[in-house]
Structure 1
Amino acid sequence: MGELDEKQLIEKAVEYLQPVKLIDVQIASIKEEINQLRANLTSIGAIDYSKDRVTGGGTPQGLEGSVAR
């Protein structure tokens, strides 16, 4: 009978600590996101606006120009 009580206590403890396990996983996820954001700070490049812009090219045509002949 004492064994059954111990088993029930273990089940209750596991159930009680389940939210702690979830929070631990969330903390690990947030830490990983922080590390990724820190890595992005040093690797994101700037855009050089001094270069000429390239537009769509050629003269605009209607649907007839895009149909295969």
Structure 2
Amino acid sequence: MHEEDTLFGDLTAEARSTRAIQLANDLICFMKTRILMMFCETLSCAFHFKIIFVSLNHRVRKKDTFNLGKMHL
């Protein structure tokens, strides 16, 4: 028994080609969804890192301004 026989069973040639097209379309849809999910995860991580970076940068600037103010006194 060939691997193709177990995948398609006793289908006619036309039904096999239709089934192969359906499987290919399902795979394409799955890959598109996965790529979109990865893109969204990347954007989400970048957004969180930007928030953290801006927050830390703001704190550092605030300290520097405070220290500069002390130096002028």
Q: TM-score, normalised by structure 2?
A: 0.49
Give me the CA root mean square deviation: 1.7
Q: How many residues align?
A: 44
What are the ranges of 5 or more consecutive residues in structure 1 without an aligned counterpart? 45-69
Name the larger-Rg structure. 1
Of the three residues 26, 39, 50, the one matched with 1:21 is 50
What are the ranges of 5 or more consecutive residues in structure 2 without an aligned counterpart? 1-27
The equivalent of 1:37 in structure 2 is 66
Which of the pair has the greater relative contact order for Cα pairs under 8 Å at 6+ separation?
2
Q: Distance in 1 between matches of 2:41 and 2:62?
A: 33
After TM superposition, where is structure 1 displaced by more than 4 Å over at least 4 residues in a row?
none
**Greater helix share, 1 or 2?**
2
The percent identity for this pair of structures is: 7
